[in-house]
Each structure stands twice: as structure tokens, then as C-alpha cells.
Structure 1
């Protein structure tokens, strides 16, 4: 299984684009420099009035399918 660590700072107004239908994915660079694209819905439980902020560990299976997202900082 592969893991990627991301630092995410997404303002709430940008997350609202998901509900408007104009955004479905979060594109971010991992702390080790890899570019990843993930469904915004995977971060929904971390959404606050300020948006999504923090450091997250994202886990994938051997087929690169998303297993889960965990806040680590």
C-alpha cells in the first residue's frame, strides 16, 4: 500500500464549487513533491466553516485506489 502526505489549505468558498458542480477533485502536491488528484468528497468530513486545513495522510491500495484519508496535523 502506498501513502502520501499532503498539506491542504482550501478555503470554504472553493469547496463550495463541489456543490455548484464545477469542481470534483482536489489537486495537490505531496510533501515529497508528487502531484496527486483526489476526489473532494474524500475530505468532506474535515470541512469546517474556514474550509479544509491541515496535514493529511492519504492511503492507496496496490491498484492506486483510494483507501482513506487521515488528518495527522
Structure 2
């Protein structure tokens, strides 16, 4: 299993683009410099009125399929 840690600061108005159909993925750089692309739906439970903010650990299986996202802080 692979894990990456991301710092995400996505304002609410950008997250709303997913509902409008113009955005489906979050592209971010991990803290160790790797670029990852994830479905915005994986972060849905972390959305607040300010958007998505925090440090997240993202876990993948051996086939690089998303297993889950955990908020660290």
C-alpha cells in the first residue's frame, strides 16, 4: 500500500465547480513532491463553509486505486 500526505487549501467556490460539472478532480502536490490527481468526491466529507482545508493522508492499494482519505490536522 502506498500513502501520500497532501496539504489542501481549496476555497468553497472552487469546490462548488464540481456541482456545476466543470471540475471533477483535485490535482495537488504531496508534501514529498509527488503530483497526484484525486476525485473531489473523496474529500466530500471534509467540506466546510470555507471549503477544504487541512493536511490529508491518502492511501492507495498496490494497483494505485484509492482506498481512502484521512484528515491528519
1:9-43 CA distance string (max 9 Å, x none): 00000000000000000000000000000000000
C-alpha distance in structure 2 between counterparts of 1:6 and 1:64, whole Å: 16
* 1:5 aligned counterpart, secondary structure: strand
List structure 1 segments (4+ residues) > 6 angstroms apart after TM superposition.
Answer: none
TM-score by length of 2: 1.00
RMSD value over aligned CA atoms?
A: 0.2
Note the residue ranges of structure 1 that are not aligned, 5 or more in a row: none
1:8, distance to aligned residue in structure 2 (A): 0.1
- Residue-pair matches, total: 73
Looking at structure 1, the residues matched to 52 and 20 of structure 2 have their Cα atoms a distance apart, in angstroms, of: 17
Q: Which runs of 5+ in 2 are unaligned?
A: none
Calculate the TM-score normalised by the size of structure 1: 1.00
